[in-house]
């Protein structure tokens, strides 16, 4: 069975590569000619652990090809996965212009038995509209399926090949069977394959992301309260996590969630509610709390320097919105850097893989450093925005000598405040006892 995956971003490239690696014949298609040229030359445009090796192996075996040519790849495809971006539009809703452009382009090229599978995150009703539009354009019924993706950047290959579950939304059970067959290599260890209606599948993706965003905003708000009442959120976290109804996962306080999914998906679901004359009060609060949280480190730095950051040098460790990715979309570090620059501070940054992307946005407004110790050279403070493993065990003595003033603003609670006090290092985290 031939498969075409349209959109070679984080989701499309991982999907196409993992399907090819399970022995299937996959073409990855993108409108970005530069991206396809790089892929054909063996260069992977995104950072995702393990992806380079998988792409290289499957490309060499000719199970995985890259093209910009719709006419060459769509007519022979039994399944056409759409994984184009659905970024936030001006009014908060998902911008589906990429998806609709794809639908118009593929309609005249689709094989009689083709199944169009929407992997992009799309608002409720989009699969139904796609089926209707394809029927208009082709004069026949084209099978459409929703197949939302739940992978996490940084662990995308594992998530795709060992999924917690696979969700498909269909209007005919036969379509679900074809999709189950495609995913068979990833369902061997009793991973659930859940077939449901289009609308339920579309909602499942948004509800999952909104639930996760809610957990983050909840613990962040509780962490801020802990600081005010002299409690330690780490102790509180342990105290609640042992309750099996609550658990430990996804309850780490920090500097807010970012990335290409949680912020836009929360706002898109708020819009879906609006469009249906409903108000999602909780989601509005989740979004608002997150916006506030992205400013917490900046505020702490501002207070520490008595409201005058001008002339100060601040090192920022971690730029990506989370570790093991180069994705900086809606990254909290960018909000902090913006504040520091606007207050007249000099900023020295480090990230193991995301500096190239930040350079494209900030140019020479900040100093890019090859090592996180170099970023700390002569700094008045270090602010940690991403919990990269390599930041977890610094040589504090060495740092103390490198820095002008050894003050650590830890947005990811990597260190034990008592141990830092013992070392004589000024330290603040998020929601820790004794924090201001
Ligand atoms: P991305 O921005 O990394 O990649 C999108 C790709 O689509 C780009 O390469 C772009 O050039 C291509 N594209 C746009 N219009 C096109 C067209 N008309 N024809 C061909 N290609 C086109 O996006 P992403 O992060 O991979 O996300 C894709 C979708 O998956 C989104 O809806 C997102 O919400 C969802 N999703 C993302 C993640 C994630 O972690 N990134 C996880 C789950 C779901």
Over residues 289-340, the pLDDT tens digits come to 999 999 999 999 999 999 999 999 999 999 999 999 999 999 999 999 999 9
Ligand 1 pocket, 10 CB below 6 A?
yes
- When pLDDT is averaged across residues 389-404 and rounded to a whole number, the result is 97
Question: What pLDDT is recorded for position 33?
Answer: 98
Kindly state which CATH superfamily the domain 197-436 is placed in.
NAD(P)-binding Rossmann-like Domain (3.40.50.720)
Closest to 196 in 3D by CA, of 185, 207, 212? 207
* Cα 430 to ligand 1 centre (Å): 33
pLDDT of residue 433: 77
Residue given tokens 């007519």 in the structure block: 75
Counting atoms of ligand 1 from 1, which one is nearest the CA of 265? 34
pLDDT score of 190:
87
Q: How confident is the model at residue 436 (pLDDT cuts 50, 70, 90)?
A: low
Q: What is the mean pLDDT of the chain?
A: 97
Which of 228, 28, 9 has its CA nearest to residue 121? 9
Q: Please work out whether the CB of residue 86 comes within 6 Å of at least one atom of ligand 1.
A: yes
What is residue 189's predicted lDDT score, i.e. its pLDDT? Answer: 85
Q: Atom 29, ligand 1: which residue's CA is nearest?
A: 120
Q: Is 101's C-beta closer than 6 angstroms to any atom of ligand 1? A: yes
Please give the distance, rounded to the nearest whole angstrom, from the Cα atom of residue 435 to the centre of ligand 1. 40
Which residue is closest in CA terms to ligand 1's atom 30?
120
Candidates 3.90.79.10, 3.30.2130.10, 3.40.50.720, 3.20.20.70; correct CATH number of 2-196? 3.40.50.720
pLDDT at position 11 is 98
Q: How far does residue 68's CA lie from ligand 1's centre (Å)?
A: 15
User: What atom in ligand 1 is closest to the CA of residue 68?
Assistant: 20
| pLDDT for 435 | 63
From the CA of 119, give the closest atom in ligand 1: 30
**Residue 151 Cα, ligand 1 centroid: separation in angstroms?**
13
- pTM beyond 0.90: the answer is yes
Assess whether pLDDT exceeds 80 at residue 132: yes
- Residue 135 pLDDT > 70: yes
- Render pLDDT for 208-260 as a digit per residue (tens, 0 to 9): 999 999 999 999 999 999 999 999 999 999 999 999 999 999 999 999 999 99
Which residues fall in the annotated binding site for NAD(+)?
30, 35, 86, 121, 153, 264, 329
The whole-number pLDDT of residue 290 equals: 98
pLDDT at 138: 98
Residue 432 has pLDDT above 90, yes or no: yes
Residue nearest to atom 1 of ligand 1 (CA): 9
Long-range contacts of 274-282 (CB under 8 A, 24+ apart): 275/93, 282/214
- CA 117, chain centre distance (Å): 21
Residues paired with residue 346 on neighbouring β-strands, in sequence order: 313
Look at residue 365 in the predicted model and tell me its pLDDT.
Answer: 98
What number does the ligand 1 atom closest to the CA of 86 have?
Answer: 32
Best mutation site among 4, 5, 12 for ligand 1, i.e. most ligand atoms within 8 A of its Cβ? 12
Give me the active site residues, please.
261
User: Ligand 1: which atom is nearest the Cα of residue 13?
Assistant: 26
Q: Give the start-to-end residue ranges of the domains of the chain.
A: 2-196, 197-436
- Per the annotation, binding residues for substrate are 150-153, 205, 250-254, 258, 322
Q: Is the CB of 178 under 6 A from ligand 1?
A: no
Q: Is ipTM strictly over 0.95?
A: yes
**Distance from residue 362's CA to the centre of ligand 1 (Å):** 23
What is the Å distance from ligand 1's center to 101 Cα? 13
């Amino acid at each position: 069975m031939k498969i075409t995956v349209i959109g070679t971003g984080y989701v499309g490239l991982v999907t196409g590569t993992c399907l090819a690696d399970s022995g299937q014949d996959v073409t990855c298609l993108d409108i970005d000619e530069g991206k396809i040229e790089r892929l054909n030359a063996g260069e992977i445009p995104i950072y995702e652990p393990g992806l380079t090796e998988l792409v290289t192996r499957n490309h060499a075996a000719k199970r995985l090809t890259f093209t910009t040519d719709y006419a060459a790849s769509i007519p022979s495809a039994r399944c056409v996965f759409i994984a184009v971006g659905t970024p936030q539009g001006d009014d908060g809703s998902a911008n589906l212009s990429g998806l609709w452009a794809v639908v118009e382009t593929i309609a005249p090229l689709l094989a009689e038995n083709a199944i169009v599978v929407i992997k992009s995150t799309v608002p409720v009703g989009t699969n139904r509209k796609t089926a209707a539009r394809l029927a208009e354009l082709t004069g026949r019924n084209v099978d459409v399926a929703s197949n939302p993706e739940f992978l996490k950047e940084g662990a995308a290959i594992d998530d795709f090949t060992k999924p917690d579950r696979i969700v498909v939304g269909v209007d005919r059970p036969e379509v679900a069977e074809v999709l189950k067959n495609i995913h068979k290599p990833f369902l061997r260890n009793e991973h659930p394959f859940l077939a449901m209606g289009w609308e339920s599948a579309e909602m499942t993706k948004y509800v999952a992301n909104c639930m996760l965003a809610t957990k983050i905003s909840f613990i962040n708000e509780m962490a801020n309260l802990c600081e005010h009442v002299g409690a330690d959120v780490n102790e509180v976290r342990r105290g609640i996590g042992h309750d099996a109804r609550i658990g430990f996962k996804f309850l780490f306080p920090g500097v807010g969630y970012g990335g290409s999914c949680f912020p836009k998906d929360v706002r898109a679901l708020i819009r879906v509610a609006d469009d249906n004359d409903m108000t999602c009060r909780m989601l509005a609060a989740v979004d608002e709390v997150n916006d506030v949280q992205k400013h917490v480190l900046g505020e702490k730095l501002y207070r520490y320097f008595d409201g005058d950051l001008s002339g100060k040098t601040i090192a920022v460790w971690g730029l990506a919105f989370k570790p093991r990715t180069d994705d900086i979309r809606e990254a909290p570090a960018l909000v902090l850097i913006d504040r520091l620059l606007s207050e007249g501070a000099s900023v020295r940054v480090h990230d193991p893989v995301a500096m190239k992307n930040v350079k494209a946005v900030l140019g020479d407004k900040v100093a890019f450093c090859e090592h996180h110790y170099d970023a700390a050279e002569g700094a008045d403070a270090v602010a940690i925005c991403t919990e990269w493993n390599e930041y977890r065990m610094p040589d504090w003595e060495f740092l103390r000598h490198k820095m002008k003033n050894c003050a650590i603003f830890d947005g990811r609670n990597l260190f034990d405040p008592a141990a830092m006090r013992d070392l004589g290092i000024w330290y603040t985290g998020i929601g820790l006892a004794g924090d201001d």
